[in-house]
Structure 1
Amino acid sequence: MKRINVVLLGLCLLFQHAAIADEGMWLPSLIQKLNIGEMQKMGLELSAEDIYSINQSSLKDAVVALDRGSCTGEIISAEGLLLTNHHCGFGEIQEHSSVEHDYLRDGFWAKTKEEELPNPGKTASFLVRVEDVTDSVLVDVTDDMNFDERNAQIQKNSFTIQKDAIEDTHYDAKVQALFKGNRYYLFVYETFRDVRLVGAPPKSIGKFGGDTDNWMWPRHTGDFSMFRVYCGPDGKPASYSEDNIPYQPKKHLKISLKGYEEGDFAMVMGYPGSTNRYKSSFGVQYTMEGTNQARIDARGEKLEILNGYMNTSQKATIQYASKYARSSNYYKYSIGQNKGLKALDVIENKQAIEKEFTNWVNANDERQAKYGKALDLIEESYKDTRDEKAYEYLVETMVRGPEIFFFSYGAKGLFQALKSDKTDRIEASVQQIRSELDEFYKDYDAKTDERITAELLKVYDNNVIPAYRPPFLDKIHSKYKGDYQEFASDMFDKTIFADRSELEEFLDNPKLKTLKKDDAFQASLEVFDIMSIIGAKMNMTADGLLTGRRLFVAGLMEMYKDKKFYPDANSTMRLSYGTVGDYVPRDGVQYSYYTTLKGYIEKEIPGDNEFDVPEKLKELYYAGDYGRYADEDGTLHTCFITNNDITGGNSGSPVMNARGELIGVAFDGNWEAMSGDLAFEPELQKCINVDIRFVLWTIDKFAGATNLIEEMTIIQ
């Protein structure tokens, strides 16, 4: 009986069952076929055509992928006003901040369109259409092809499909594999390149609770920021220009002030980044011991150093705020995911499924011939993971860890040009490096990077086999007697890349000899050489792993042919549906499904970096000045939770009610279900959202940016 229960629980973690309405990141183009009936039974008042249509405006036309899918945003006015999370706009807010105009600390609100701030490189992509192109992608692909032959044919076919799809248009298109390469879909986008910052609350609202509350419930965080999409006078995407005009979207979301109650239908549309719900037990084990452990070991050291520097001055805080936030988010996530995977016995559950799969395959000769090698190929790929772990630690400690190696490696083109003595190539390389100086040195402190370098080199050395040491690590052991800090101090003292003036002087008259003698540059070459060597070794098992995964998922879909399968997230538009509701995280504890402004006051720690509360917010709270944004109970709701299925990339996604009206903005998941990217946990998994009424209250009452309120369509 125990074995059967384990199998059933495992299936709940893998597949969508009719009884679990909240699991699944569904393609909007398929909801008519797979989901609409169930959604309407749960309370949805819309048709599938209202949600996704290529013939008329629909909800999909109001939801955008920011920066090709790093976050999601939604259009909330007929003039291209866009709402997303504060942490999704954090980089732009930080970039525009200075000691004189500290928008991170004080917030920013454009009272006119002329005050809105441009952000070179930021994009907003609208989905035009989705098409199943599996049959066309697999033309001339045969079972007797080896991996490389199969992959080459698929790439060739995909390129042709993409080219034909956007011919004579300004659109861009991408064919993406779903279900581990068993299905292929074409996604066509219209991407706008002029996206301007319009508004953001101070960090004390937009990031209230900081890292302490990150991934936690209950939350009291106004995690939102606002941008505007601009286009050329012809209505088409254009690079930034003063002549550009606000984009007039096909659809913008109406905003509801009616709130929600427990059990109400909730729907999320967005661009979730990556899940691996079909990953094997072997893969989960590696994620815990390899990917997550490398993050934990490296980022723990890095964050401690960054925090120490940021506490020294306002300038230091602005410099490293965005870098710290990026690093800390998945540091804590990795800790929580490992804890959740253990607590939920995910490996045991997946092993039970794999045993059932093996029995099913072995019961039939035809299935044995077709799927018999699937799990063997996967297991073989994970037998020796020293290469993979070395790669994980290399990325965390030398590529993403210190900045000096990646930045100095940017001079490789100049190094090659100097060796060939090609004047035009030298001049082009110099100009390329010069173009990056302002952005790099604005937010860089060499002494801090030196400390990070010393600590992270030690982390790498302690966790990776000696065969994968870059030569300069051997030098640390021989010349510096294992003193990483002494090596780092010497390297930073002598390199031209730690000081802008020295680098600019070199660029005025570049010499090959200088780069040959520069320890930071030479170390960077060694780092990326080792990276290539490890990558090549990993590729020796990658073909088998990818083939095994494809066959395993294909077999599962045949084995459970009556189940509704959803594809793993891959930064394409998805829809999830569920309900508003509370949950029980542990024995004797029950969490309410919403929080109120009172929580800000209860959590306040005056002057604290994470829990400081703005004076104006307190004044409004004590005056009970909530205006039309108060709930029926008289309080101002700040955040609420639903059981919608989300992941990274969904940040900023609209949370809509049964009528497709905006009631909140998704911004986080909960600590108890950090295993969700690998195994959905139906009893615990929650989507944390900022209440749209709190967003509007902050814009209106706190910031006085009534110009923004006036252009929205608000349902009282």
Structure 2
Amino acid sequence: MKNVWILLLAISLSTYVKATEGMWLPLLLAQLNEQEMQSMGMKMTAEDIYSVNKGSLKDAIVHFGGFCTGEVISDQGLVLTNHHCGYGQIQSHSTLENNYLEDGFWAMNRKQEIPNPGLFVTFIVRIEDVTDLVLNNVTEDMDAKMRQSWVDKNTKEVTAAAKMEDYQEAMVRDFFEGTKYYMFVTETYRDIRLVGAPPSSIGKFGADTDNWVWPRHTGDFSLFRIYASPDNKPAEYSEENVPFKPRHHLPISLDGVEEDDFTLVFGFPGRTEEYLPAAAIEQRVDVVNPIRIGIRDRALNVVNTAMQADPGVRIKYASKQSRIANYWKKWIGENQGIKATDGVGRKKAYEAEFRERVMGNPEWREKYGSLLSSFERLYGDLEPYAATNTAVGEIAGRNIELFRLANTLHSVVKMYESSGAPMVESRMGRLEDFVEDFYKDYEPSVDQGVFATLMDYYFTEISDEHQAPFAVERYVEAGKDADKLASMIYLKSKLARPGVLELAMEEGPEALIKLIKNDVAYALARAISDYNDDNVAGKYRDIKAEIDDLQQQYMRAQIDVFTERRFYPDANGTLRVTYGKVDGYQPRDAVRYEPVTYLDGVMEKYVPGDYEFDVPQRLRKLYQKKDYGDYGEDGKMPVCFIGTNHTTGGNSGSPAIDAYGNLIGLNFDRAWEGTMSDLNYDASICRNIMVDARYILFVIDKFAGAGHLVEEMTLVHPKKG
């Protein structure tokens, strides 16, 4: 029976990477994926997707702002991305008088398109394998520090020697835990203008309730335009710039999707950790995620209450609330998905087969025999430090705005202490822009509420030996009452008062540094962070460094041991292709989700006046008349669909592309049950959620009356030949 079990497990491992799993480098599609993709229905070749010799799909894909993906959908530089990717820009242009978040925005001509300082898009020109060059003089017996020294030296030489135009850049990224290296030659455009955005009642329909959830009915899209110099090269904003002419733009299919249709998602996924050991997954599920979720629960309770009570706060905190809530809900789904699919058990079964093979081979036993037991020991040592480090990161680093401001100002203090007033003076313009932007959307009373509830967590949930003495002293002064501590800090802190910091900046670096150093909120933030750095984070980093070294060995070991398995690199913010099919799923017993939603579902969810489920009157009228133009299907208006593509954060705004290379949708989310795909993909429940391209066109044309934008797109009927 044991031999039969091993045989069955080996068979399952040989097909461990399902056809729908993986985030593949476009450079390698011809040798690794093309045949399989075509067997799934794709009509293109690998060169149609990625080519350096001709225009290809990759020339229409952009890294949007460094945090999302976008795609060029016209020969005039029109870029499509998610509403939530453009949310910060839409918010920054919104006021109570011109509330583009609530009412939407549509430029009816080029002069109305709005510049966005600081926003950029990046194209990938080409990708090169530079592994041999980067690992030159690196040997297996080197310690981690020496190895990294050689890698850094070689990387500088590789990028310096890269053949490229003077307006291009080169970057090298590591893959498979530093066993492979690729160079990306890029072009970045920095004159990006807002063209169109639906109202949040469409672009964010369902808001927090529907976030990470299927069925979904959200028109999560926005439009921008790339401007270039008159010779079509990257340029800073100028009135002389003209719409960018791309090497390729995506045609848009009007034929829609059906179950089992081939789908390709092209974009810049942020970060996955698919090759972690079971011990790491257990710690994430049982320790780290519950801390993150609990802290953000508290912050969201305060922010949500304030937003519901005050329309002005709602505008100021719309983007901030989304930032807090997005990963809060993702972590909840991640935990549930891992437990529902026995993700830890699957990892342990995989590791059992790994051990079996390793112990049966003398060479492997010598090299890899102690890897898994070392992981278990090290993750046990890491746990108390991981718990505190996670909590302090959420409290002092992310969710209390006053602390986030103090952290930024601390970098100014360090600059002053190391380089003097002239250096601070030279950076004052940039600091002024940051401070102005910070206070524009800052409400001290809301932040004080968040401070109170999170500091209560700090003093009641974090172990006593990990609490900063200075913070404890202030807490005792406040009678061990977090609300009183908050009142004391926000009353005394000058950083909590808009205008005071600006005045100090006008007086010069010395006055600014004096104000910062004497501020009680700054002192408290530094005390918590510094104590954590000295007593927790340092030990965390030391143990984590050992784990990272083991992880690199474990990655090499898996590749050596499972020769029949096809490995794909973890996402690291670089350009990837993932492919799958339109497909429903069954999240639990007796529940089956269909793969397509319609405008009927929007109306079923409609709640007049509700900030999540209100529906614009014009959309309701179009629905009543069934006035869908060329975009409807059998008297219905498709809204969203799901597929089996393996996606993650950063894939927001990625195009969903059909078998012929046409845009059929816009990726914007994952189904809640499958958010654990960052750690453990399972084809049974992992689904990515996309807006149907026809719904996007319908909203632009029929709802917004911006048909001139549709006219510059290329609309096709591939299924009709």
* TM-score, structure 1 normalization: 0.95
Out of 51, 54, 59, the position equivalent to 1:53 is 51
2:80 aligned with 1:78: no
Structure 2 residue aligned with 1:347: 344
| Aligned-partner SS, 1:128 | strand
| Aligned-partner SS, 1:241 | coil
2:272 aligned with 1:270: no
Structure 2 residue aligned with 1:126: 123
| Aligned-partner SS, 1:400 | helix
Q: Contact 2:392–2:529 at 8 Å: present in 1 too?
A: no
Structure 2 residue aligned with 1:711: 712
Q: C-alpha separation between the residues in 1 aligned to 2:444 and 2:692? A: 41
Q: C-alpha separation between the residues in 2 aligned to 1:394 and 1:88? A: 28
Structure 1 residue aligned with 2:172: 175
Letter in 2 for 1:505: L
Letter in 1 for 2:35: G
| Alpha-carbon distance change, 612 to 360 in structure 1, aligned in 2, over 3 angstroms | same
More moved, 424-433 vs 354-363? 424-433
- CA shift at 1:681, angstroms? 0.9
| Aligned-partner SS, 2:614 | coil
CA deviation string 1:302-354 (max 9, x = no partner): 11111111112221111000000011011011111111111211112212222
Structure 2 residue aligned with 1:595: 597
Q: Contact 2:501–2:512 at 8 Å: present in 1 too?
A: no
- CA shift at 1:196, angstroms? 1.1
Q: Contact 1:654–1:665 at 8 Å: present in 2 too?
A: yes
CA deviation string 1:193-220 (max 9, x = no partner): 1111110000000011111111111111
Structure 2 residue aligned with 1:700: 701
2:498 aligned with 1:500: yes
Out of 245, 250, 253, the position equivalent to 2:250 is 253
| Alpha-carbon distance change, 516 to 658 in structure 1, aligned in 2, over 3 angstroms | closer
Q: How many residue pairs align between the two structures?
A: 712
- CA shift at 1:7, angstroms? 9.8
RMSD of aligned Cα (Å):
2.2
Structure 2 residue aligned with 1:203: 200
- CA shift at 1:524, angstroms? 2.4
Q: Contact 1:16–1:566 at 8 Å: present in 2 too?
A: no
| Alpha-carbon distance change, 372 to 456 in structure 1, aligned in 2, over 3 angstroms | same
2:566 aligned with 1:564: yes
| Aligned-partner SS, 2:377 | helix
- CA shift at 1:34, angstroms? 0.8
Structure 2 residue aligned with 1:645: 646
Out of 299, 302, 307, the position equivalent to 1:305 is 302
More moved, 281-290 vs 700-709? 281-290
- CA shift at 1:165, angstroms? 1.7
More moved, 586-595 vs 327-336? 586-595
- CA shift at 1:270, angstroms? 0.9
Structure 2 residue aligned with 1:218: 215
Residue pairs, 1:381-396, within 5 angstroms: 381-384=378-381, 385-396=383-394
Q: Contact 1:24–1:645 at 8 Å: present in 2 too?
A: yes
| Aligned-partner SS, 1:259 | coil
Q: C-alpha separation between the residues in 2 aligned to 1:475 and 1:246? A: 59
Structure 1 residue aligned with 2:101: 104
Q: Contact 1:78–1:249 at 8 Å: present in 2 too?
A: yes
- CA shift at 1:282, angstroms? 1.1
Letter in 2 for 1:648: G
Q: Contact 2:269–2:651 at 8 Å: present in 1 too?
A: yes
More moved, 621-630 vs 411-420? 411-420
Letter in 2 for 1:350: K
More moved, 647-656 vs 356-365? 356-365
Residue pairs, 1:431-442, within 5 angstroms: 431-442=429-440
- CA shift at 1:514, angstroms? 4.3
- CA shift at 1:130, angstroms? 1.2
| Alpha-carbon distance change, 664 to 370 in structure 1, aligned in 2, over 3 angstroms | same
- CA shift at 1:297, angstroms? 1.2
Residue pairs, 1:361-376, within 5 angstroms: 361-376=358-373
Q: Contact 1:644–1:687 at 8 Å: present in 2 too?
A: yes
Q: Gapped runs of 5+ residues in structure 1?
A: none
CA deviation string 1:444-483 (max 9, x = no partner): 0001111111111122233322222223321134222211
CA deviation string 1:576-630 (max 9, x = no partner): 1111122222222221111111111111110001000100000000011001001
- CA shift at 1:419, angstroms? 7.0
CA deviation string 1:263-293 (max 9, x = no partner): 1111111111111111111111121234312
- CA shift at 1:562, angstroms? 1.9
Residue pairs, 1:189-588, within 5 angstroms: 189-384=186-381, 385-412=383-410, 415=413, 423-425=421-423, 427-428=425-426, 431-509=429-507, 510=511, 514-533=515-534, 534-588=536-590
Q: Contact 2:389–2:532 at 8 Å: present in 1 too?
A: yes
Out of 19, 22, 25, the position equivalent to 1:21 is 19
Letter in 2 for 1:480: A
| Aligned-partner SS, 1:311 | helix
Structure 2 residue aligned with 1:625: 627
| Aligned-partner SS, 1:151 | helix
Q: C-alpha separation between the residues in 2 aligned to 1:422 and 1:645? A: 49
- CA shift at 1:511, angstroms? 6.9
- CA shift at 1:260, angstroms? 1.8
Q: C-alpha separation between the residues in 2 aligned to 1:304 and 1:40? A: 49
- CA shift at 1:106, angstroms? 0.2
Out of 593, 606, 610, the position equivalent to 1:608 is 610
Q: C-alpha separation between the residues in 2 aligned to 1:271 and 1:173? A: 16
* TM-score, structure 2 normalization: 0.95
More moved, 40-49 vs 324-333? 40-49
| Aligned-partner SS, 2:685 | coil
2:659 aligned with 1:658: yes
| Aligned-partner SS, 1:160 | helix
Q: C-alpha separation between the residues in 1 aligned to 2:432 and 2:79? A: 34
Q: Contact 1:639–1:690 at 8 Å: present in 2 too?
A: yes
CA deviation string 1:213-239 (max 9, x = no partner): 111111111111111111122221111
Q: Contact 2:106–2:704 at 8 Å: present in 1 too?
A: yes
Q: Contact 2:466–2:532 at 8 Å: present in 1 too?
A: no
Aligned identity (percent) is 42
- CA shift at 1:11, angstroms? 8.8
Q: C-alpha separation between the residues in 1 aligned to 2:3 and 2:284? A: 25
- CA shift at 1:67, angstroms? 1.8
Q: Contact 1:11–1:353 at 8 Å: present in 2 too?
A: no
| Alpha-carbon distance change, 155 to 423 in structure 1, aligned in 2, over 3 angstroms | closer
| Alpha-carbon distance change, 670 to 168 in structure 1, aligned in 2, over 3 angstroms | closer
Q: Contact 1:28–1:52 at 8 Å: present in 2 too?
A: yes
Letter in 1 for 2:271: S
Letter in 2 for 1:328: A
| Alpha-carbon distance change, 410 to 214 in structure 1, aligned in 2, over 3 angstroms | closer
| Alpha-carbon distance change, 168 to 638 in structure 1, aligned in 2, over 3 angstroms | closer
CA deviation string 1:129-148 (max 9, x = no partner): 11122221111111221111
- CA shift at 1:432, angstroms? 4.9
Letter in 1 for 2:408: G
Q: C-alpha separation between the residues in 1 aligned to 2:458 and 2:65? A: 32
Q: Contact 1:374–1:547 at 8 Å: present in 2 too?
A: no
Q: C-alpha separation between the residues in 1 aligned to 2:514 and 2:23? A: 55
Q: C-alpha separation between the residues in 2 aligned to 1:611 and 1:280? A: 41
Q: Contact 2:324–2:399 at 8 Å: present in 1 too?
A: no
Letter in 2 for 1:61: D
| Alpha-carbon distance change, 194 to 9 in structure 1, aligned in 2, over 3 angstroms | farther
| Aligned-partner SS, 2:380 | coil
- CA shift at 1:15, angstroms? 7.5
| Alpha-carbon distance change, 16 to 699 in structure 1, aligned in 2, over 3 angstroms | farther
Letter in 2 for 1:71: C
Q: C-alpha separation between the residues in 2 aligned to 1:543 and 1:4? A: 39
Q: Gapped runs of 5+ residues in structure 2?
A: none
Q: C-alpha separation between the residues in 2 aligned to 1:15 and 1:483? A: 58
Q: C-alpha separation between the residues in 1 aligned to 2:592 and 2:424? A: 65
CA deviation string 1:382-408 (max 9, x = no partner): 122222221111111111011111212
